[in-house]
Chains A and B, each alone.
Chain A
């Protein structure tokens, strides 16, 4: 969509965008939040206008000062707006006035100014259900609360114990409280406007989950539950979400995958959990041939706060990408999962493509066409 730039309007280079002259009339526009660049070759009088865009003068006046054509500058500004390098002064003033300017400036690398507030409104209004409020669930909820999300359903029957404090957001004074209740209190420290529905439910089968989610009616589900196992809870989430066409994120952070970056699923657009199982089973068949699993019922498994931090940061980012519901910023974890290596600081990914033999609808679209996952506001 190209915006008409009226000569009487005031525009500026977005404050987080740097302009670097590379010689020969070429200019690099560097979006510092996302470290992405775009390059344009500009005639001197056009460059004079663009590099001085501070919102002070209207386009007509600044073009007159530099002897540039209003039509040509207007056309270029349309492109630069679409590519998120410039914004109208009115939008800048609106961003400056809110407490969410950091998040808006960040999203502004993906959403042109005229779409920005609508995208952020979708984040605020998205109803998110978090299944499992342990280390990763609690950290993910908090990052989402800080980002502007305002509608949560948090599902967990556990109570906070001393041994949770080494890696979750829970505080000493939370010990003995239900985890879901403690998360509600933590989110309310960020803002009382955040709606939190705690569900003290031990989800032990697919039917129970369906009942809980049917009541919560979420736009997005985040699975952070590893009891009885992540595979089982993910299967239940997949079952419900596929039927209801609800996107979901499978977070990591559990045994053997303390720093897993889980996959994101948008039914009909990406591989589903069952597709991923087919691929992972094949990979495991090859790597685990001859391996025998020991029966060890009483295990006290390892964990580390910063690994929880990394896993939850990626889960929270994926929920944000789902919540903006736009092809301008789609999930980065469709059709793959990743792992962060403690020793080397490296991220590695495994491709998990849609599998036709799965029988889900993923192979129909394969992520090629985007459609919003919840009603646009």
Chain B
């Protein structure tokens, strides 16, 4: 870049129009006695196409002032990723409109919910059968000791309604069991399902939800946060694009065929597992990043693979699992419905 153009970058602070700056640039060149440099207008046009230069009021053109006040810094981040104001605005708009079914408002589900609401998600179906317990103080991001005993879905619902700008919610204080009818549990207008329910067992509920999602062309996020997966990077399942829960189950059945723990001598281990709030926050944040990437146009690979953040040295142990062509749920013989944003 020529030195006058470098100098002109500092003028681009929204205080003057391109025409005015073009005139200033011309007189600067005259002062330097050099008229051979590239056009200032071409230069600004190039920066605009790259999303580096933006109109001063681009956010206000796209959203009411209340949304701009809340999300201006986030829109700036989206601009970095999406490289255009139109795409950045569209990403926030999608976030505001998506209806998310969150199964489980516990150790990771509650942290995911807080981050999603911060991001602008405001339409939710919340499913959790349990009340807030005293021990939730070490794991639930919505913990309030004055509300111990209240259903977690009610507490989560109140949180959404107090924070979101245009909230719209449904709550279901019942468990997701193996024989639950998913459609009647969450309704038929959901755009994304997040499974954080570790009871009866997250593997089983995820396979059930994954089959429902493949059939209905819905994305499913299976979060971590339990037992040996305290800070898992979660799994994003997108029909037609990524492995489904059956693919993962088949993969691990083979990979772990020689890894069979003995039946643990302690029968009831419910208070025996560990966890740190910081690990839950990490798992939730990694999951929410996958959700942002899902709705982003240029956010990169939706599912970078399975991964575990290891507390010991802060390493991430990750590996890619491919779709299984013989999968009875999403394999080659099944009709696919690619996900569209």
Contacts and interface: CB of A to CB of B under 8 A. Distances in A.
Nearest to A106: B274
Contacts of A343: 293, 299-300
A369 interface: no
Contacts of A320: 276, 278
Interface stretch (B111-119, B123-131, B177-185, B244-252): B111-119
Contacts of B74: 166-167, 302-305
A108 interface: yes
A214 interface: no
B273 A332 contact: no
B274 A108 contact: yes
B261 A30 contact: yes
Interface in A208-234: none
B261 to A, nearest CB: 4
Interface in B272-308: 272-279, 281-282, 284-286, 288-289, 292-293, 299-300, 304, 307-308
A261 B314 contact: yes
B118 A305 contact: yes
Question: By CB atoms of chain A within 10 A, which of B9, B260, B261 has the most?
Answer: B261
A36 to B, nearest CB: 6
A317 B317 CA distance: 18
A86 to B, nearest CB: 11
Interface in B303-338: 304, 307-318
A92 B107 CA distance: 22
Contacts of B264: 13, 15, 18-19
Interface stretch (B195-203, B206-214, B227-235): B227-235
Contact of A143 (B267, B277, B308, B311): B277
B300 to A, nearest CB: 4
A347 interface: yes
A273 interface: no
Given A99-B135, A105-B272, A166-B71, A143 B281 contact: yes
A310 B273 contact: no
Interface residues of A, number: 91
A157 interface: no
Given A34-B312, A102-B274, A146-B143, A345 B307 contact: yes
Interface in B129-170: 134-135, 137-141, 143-146, 162-163
A317 B266 contact: no
Given A21-B262, A51-B262, A167-B73, A33 B316 contact: no
Interface stretch (B21-29, B36-44, B75-83): B75-83
A168 B114 CA distance: 10
A33 B275 contact: yes
Interface stretch (A73-81, A278-286, A291-299, A355-363): A291-299
A346 B309 CA distance: 10
Contacts of A173: 162
Nearest to A314: B314
A15 B181 CA distance: 33
A306 B261 contact: no
Contact of A15 (B230, B259, B273): B273
Nearest to A169: B114
Interface in B43-102: 66, 69-74, 76-81
B190 to A, nearest CB: 21
Contacts of B262: 19-21, 51
Contacts of B80: 302
Contacts of B304: 344-345
Interface in A308-352: 308-310, 312-314, 316-317, 320, 332-333, 338, 342-347, 349
A369 to B, nearest CB: 20
A205 interface: no
A3 interface: no
Nearest to B312: A34
Interface stretch (A125-133, A186-194, A237-245): A186-194
Which bracket fits the contact residues of B?
35 or more
A236 interface: no
A337 to B, nearest CB: 11
Contact of B134 (A99, A146, A165, A304): A99
Contacts of A109: 274
B331 to A, nearest CB: 26
Interface string A149-184: 000000000000011011111011100000000000
A16 interface: yes
B219 interface: no
A107 B80 CA distance: 39
Interface string A31-73: 0111110000000000000011111000000000000000000
B292 A304 contact: yes
Given A30-B261, A146-B138, A320-B278, A95 B163 contact: no
Interface string A81-104: 000000000001001100111111
Contacts of B267: 54
Nearest to A104: B274
Contact of B276 (A14, A21, A35, A147): A147
A307 interface: yes
A302 B284 contact: no
Nearest to A20: B261
A142 B163 CA distance: 18
A309 B288 contact: yes
B253 interface: no
Contact of A12 (B266, B273, B299, B315): B266
A165 B115 CA distance: 10
A356 to B, nearest CB: 26
B266 A54 contact: yes
B227 A300 contact: no
B240 interface: no
Contacts of A300: 72-73, 76
Interface of B: 6, 9-10, 13-14, 66, 69-74, 76-81, 107, 111, 114-115, 118-120, 134-135, 137-141, 143-146, 162-163, 227-228, 230, 233, 258-262, 264-267, 269, 271-279, 281-282, 284-286, 288-289, 292-293, 299-300, 304, 307-318
10 contacts: A15-B271, A33-B273, A35-B310, A54-B265, A99-B138, A146-B277, A147-B277, A147-B278, A192-B145, A314-B314
Given A54-B266, A172-B162, 12 more contacts: A15-B273, A18-B228, A21-B262, A34-B310, A35-B308, A54-B267, A106-B274, A190-B137, A190-B144, A300-B72, A314-B314, A317-B276
Q: List 6 tightest A-B contacts by C-beta distance, closest first.
A: A15-B272, A309-B285, A302-B77, A106-B274, A105-B274, A33-B274
